[in-house]
Chains A and B, each alone.
Chain A
Amino acid sequence: MTGFAQGLLTALLRDTPLITPQLFLMTVATLMLWPGDLFFNRNEKHKWAPITLVILAITAFLVTKVPDGEGFSRMFRMDGLTRGFQMLCILASAGAVTLSVKLLDSLKQQTVEYYALILFSLAGMLFLCGASDLISVYFSIELMAICIYILVAYLRDRATSVEAGMKYFLLGAFSSGILVYGISLVYGAAGGVSTNLVDINQALALTPTTSNLLVYAGVLMVLVGMAFKVAAVPFHMWAPDAYEGAPTPITAFMATAPKAAALAAFLRVFGTGFHGVSSDWVLPLCYIAGASMILGNVAAVRQESMKRLLAYSSIAHVGYMLLGVLSGDPKAGAQAVWLYMLIYIVMNTGAFAVVIYLQGKGEGERIEDFKGLGRKHPVLAFAMMIFLLSLAGIPPLVGFFGKFYLFKLAIEQGYVTLTVIALLTSAVSAYYYLGVVNQMYFKEPEGEAAPMGSGSVFIVALACILVLVGTAFGPWLLDWAGKIFWV
């Protein structure tokens, strides 16, 4: 008995360094709720934002220091893939926190819980990025998602926000059910010995042909569950409503951070765990990716709300990124997805920063509100134009570089039809992005927009410069992407 306890302790001491960032985040977030909350009175809650940013910086530093390795009964792996995507999640969270300050101020909704929830959710994402076991994938997703359900419904005196949270929660719970049922089927088909992804891959290779249907059903259900989490068509129904109802910084957050983490899990589950049975999921995933590109881009054309437009566009962008998951060479696929996600975070956060800047008192998120922005705020309009053109993938902006790299890979892997669809739909996307540019530059301004302060201006400026010059630094981006690997 003591031998067992001692073994457990040794293993715990050995493995704990792997999850230092997560432990740090959860400890600090708990301390923020109590006793931290007592230090600031009602009017000083906005001070939590800079503190959160410092915490995020420390977390990022810790992530770089964590050694490579596997631990907790091979439930969690720290490797290039984990580290790369963890950094993306932290980056996206930092963007969302910066954008939150002024908006929450003006709504008089500053609380410590808001920031703590972001940190808890981030901890879930950091786990998810490195989850190497179906069970750890599942619980990381839940940790991440439950915090976000609350954040979506954060403005609880507003019906749309609550409705969005409710919708997101119900569909999220439903999809989790499908996911966990799929996991159990796969586990059963693989002999019921282990849920570790590497073991599963080996076991699935040995399953008798009689259990093919079981494997097929299990893999498809996991696919559906994951597709829900990244909001891919046809499992995207929750996204536009949730995006529209959530406080705008949370929308920016949802469109980037959880997607980065879920894509990391997507890559690992399908690239490692189900790599051997790829014939079961490649075709359905092709349809999911193609449908996401087409429906996301086509539906965005008709939107009148800026947030819904960006929601549909994010569905389309997920469709593009799934091309990377489809790649027969998982490593190259992961690199392309990582690069695209990095670029997407920068341009999307920039675009949301402009939306928030214009929102004034939390209203006015219609596309019409951009009317005449080119006359009223030339610099802001210019930045928005850059973000939109970059989202549309117009060179030489960095969005083009990300698309180029991703589509190059897809063609190399033989997904020519899908790439042609991707490129043609990105031409369609130019139509609705330019629709916003039309409003900004070709229409006369009406009324005055309330400026929203320095935080979002800083984000806008930084993101705009990065998007403008990013392509010139292509070699560096590729170097970074080259570090995304796993076994």
Chain B
Amino acid sequence: MFTANTTLMLVATFLPVLGALVLLFVPKDQRRVFEIGSLLIMIASLLLSLPFWFGYDRASDAVQWAGAWTWIPALGVKFSVGMDGISLLLWLLTTFIGPIAIACSFKSIEERHKEYYIWMLVLQTAMLGVFITQDMFLFYLFWEVMLVPMYFLIGIWGGPQKLYAAIKLFLYTLAGSVLMLVAILAIYFLQHKATGAYNFSLESFQQMAPIIAQQSKTYQHLMALAFFIGFAIKVPMFPFHTWLPDAHVQAPTAGSVILAAILLKMGTYGFVRFLLPILPTATKDLMPWFIALSLIGIIYGALVAMIQKDMKKLVAYSSVSHLGLCMLGIFALNPYGIKGGLFQMINHGISTSGLFLAVGIVYERRHTRMIADFGGLSKTMPVYATIFMIMTMSSIGLPLLNGFIGEGVILMGAFQAFPWAAVVATLGIILGAAYMLWMFQRVMFGPITAVNEKMEDLNLREILYFAPLVIAAFWIGLYPKPIMDVMDAPVRKLVEQVTPGFHAAEALAARQAAAAKLGMQGMAAPAAHHEATPAGHQAAPAGHEAPAAHGEPAHGGGH
């Protein structure tokens, strides 16, 4: 039924919820058992997930470790799982963040430990499940299940406005996803009409793209909008972002970390996995609007972050801005843009988790997050200041750290598609540097007050949970190739799904450019020249642009 690898993947995914079932039977006053137990479960899940990083076949764009088990044959629902490079990266990010989120809760969670750790574990499985499912029904299941634990995490352990924030998060997301359900069902019936079979598998949905493209424009646009709203609320894109600051500010630190690192990525993942391949034509039609919303998100998020007085709210609005950048890359619909968008999702997961953890640290010590209450912390908390610095730099995209690569690649992609959009996005990145550095300056430097002088620096546990994030930030910043390689083939396939013949045209353009270059140098091989001529009239403009953007292939051709 399932191969050994698929089974291992399922074990890693479901281990947290199985652990939660065991913890259910532990008496609730055993605080230590819940803390250590859930940490060990998360670490075990992480260790089980690591072999997949090494075992992934980077040359193939197929869904790997696929397994399917018939569940409801009458409806065509299968328990179907598997991962490609895109899912793998986010799946690993989730198992990576899991132990950190648990470790940062030991001190800040002071009541109802049993429920807290059980909800955390359930949430982990639900999130991991979203990334491995290859069936639309199953996807919707995991997608919705995720909401319930998050609702409780904010509602029970959150700040003063927790009830409002929890229900807002729940209703916003639910409203978006029910619209998505309608679109899923509509495509499901269209598929039944076209093929005569009831099938919820993701692959069959993606194969529907040409048939959907033959439907009326209104139909296509409505479908695309239904998906778009469902995912855009989760990302969140302007103007659907209003739940995010509330949820972040009210959530406990671990809740914010998971929200920023994983939950928001569900939306971007949804765009890449579902909207683009299933509805490519409609996406391209609506692309200007999507790009515009992304740009508004980038600038608006940055401007609003600038004026925040609460550190957590500042980081929350910076998420709106950063995810706008991810969306800009994805909607550029070219390999650089999509790769950059995906890459930036990982980066944002690392740097923003780090920032939320850092805010959590001072909140635990002072029970305030107002920037004005701090100042000069670098004097008493040097280790903390260093780590905060690294995370800030990673967030604003300093070279050598992870953020730089992601932003750079996105801007390349955006420039190819919409040069003016790249210009606006750059403005957002500059603003980002401004508000982050300004916050850092106000918190870390300047005169120190008596209260702040008594603040303790990081203890071993805190250093330990920051360490993986710092290492990851440097590793990705210095040597991003392994991650790029993992998403290479799937992104190639995705671009081909969105724009059939994209790579062929690109290769042709590159060849023409090379041939033109050779021709100018008077060393043109007759064969190459011959090959390039037939399509030469149509592809001429593309040929002019190509060398600038694709220096590498042109170069290779030249030698």
A400 to B147, CA, bound (A): 14
> CB distance A411 to B185 under 8 Å?
yes
Residues in A with CB closer than 8 Å to B186 are 411, 416
How many chain A residues touch B (CB < 8 A): the figure is 32
> CB distance A475 to B185 under 8 Å?
no
Chain B residue, CB-CB nearest to A394? B144
Q: 1/0 per position for B56-100, CB-CB distance to A under 8 A?
A: 000000000000000111110100000000000000000000000
Does A434 belong to the interface (CB within 8 Å)? Answer: yes
> CB distance A430 to B171 under 8 Å?
yes
Q: At the interface, is chain A mostly helix, strand, loop or mixed?
A: helix
Does A431 belong to the interface (CB within 8 Å)? Answer: yes
> CB distance A423 to B141 under 8 Å?
no
Does A420 belong to the interface (CB within 8 Å)? Answer: yes
> CB distance B156 to A427 under 8 Å?
no
- Could you tell me which residues of chain B, from 172 to 212, have a CB within 8 Å of some CB in chain A? 174-175, 178-179, 181-182, 185-186, 188-189
A407 to B178, CA, bound (A): 11
> CB distance B77 to A474 under 8 Å?
yes
Residues in A with CB closer than 8 Å to B77 are 474
Does B162 belong to the interface (CB within 8 Å)? Answer: yes
> CB distance A408 to B185 under 8 Å?
yes
A394 to B151, CA, bound (A): 13
Give the shortest distance, in Å, between A192 (CB) and chain B (any CB): 43
Give the shortest distance, in Å, between B554 (CB) and chain A (any CB): 50
Residues in B with CB closer than 8 Å to A431 are 167, 171
Give the shortest distance, in Å, between A302 (CB) and chain B (any CB): 15
| A396, A408, A427, A478 — most chain B CB neighbours (10 Å) | A427
Does A441 belong to the interface (CB within 8 Å)? Answer: yes
Does B163 belong to the interface (CB within 8 Å)? Answer: yes
How many chain B residues touch A (CB < 8 A): the figure is 33
Chain A residue, CB-CB nearest to B178? A423
Does A426 belong to the interface (CB within 8 Å)? Answer: yes
A411 to B184, CA, bound (A): 11
A-B contact count (CB 8 A): 80
> CB distance B73 to A395 under 8 Å?
no
> CB distance A416 to B170 under 8 Å?
no
- Could you tell me which residues of chain B, from 140 to 171, have a CB within 8 Å of some CB in chain A? 140-141, 144-145, 147-148, 151-152, 155-156, 162-163, 166-167, 170-171
Residues in B with CB closer than 8 Å to A303 are none
> CB distance A416 to B141 under 8 Å?
no
> CB distance B73 to A475 under 8 Å?
yes
Give the shortest distance, in Å, between A374 (CB) and chain B (any CB): 8
> CB distance A442 to B155 under 8 Å?
yes
Does A121 belong to the interface (CB within 8 Å)? Answer: no
A220 to B167, CA, bound (A): 41
> Within the complex, which residue of A424, A441, A471, A475 is in contact with B152, where a contact is CB–CB below 8 Å?
A441
> CB distance A394 to B147 under 8 Å?
yes
Residues in B with CB closer than 8 Å to A394 are 144-145, 147-148, 174
Residues in B with CB closer than 8 Å to A427 are 171, 174-175, 178
Chain B residue, CB-CB nearest to A474? B72
Chain B residue, CB-CB nearest to A471? B141
Does A389 belong to the interface (CB within 8 Å)? Answer: yes
A174 to B171, CA, bound (A): 40
17 contacts between A and B (CB under 8 A): A374-B115, A394-B147, A394-B148, A396-B145, A400-B141, A404-B181, A407-B182, A408-B75, A412-B189, A416-B182, A420-B179, A423-B182, A427-B178, A430-B171, A434-B170, A474-B77, A475-B74
Given contacts A395-B145, A407-B185, list 8 more A-B pairs with CB under 8 A: A394-B144, A396-B141, A416-B182, A416-B186, A423-B181, A434-B151, A441-B155, A474-B71
Q: What residues of chain B have their CB less than 8 Å away from a CB belonging to chain A?
A: 71-75, 77, 115, 140-141, 144-145, 147-148, 151-152, 155-156, 162-163, 166-167, 170-171, 174-175, 178-179, 181-182, 185-186, 188-189
Q: Please name the 5 residue pairs, one residue from A and one from B, whose CB atoms are nearest each other, closest first.
A: A423-B178, A474-B72, A395-B141, A427-B175, A427-B174
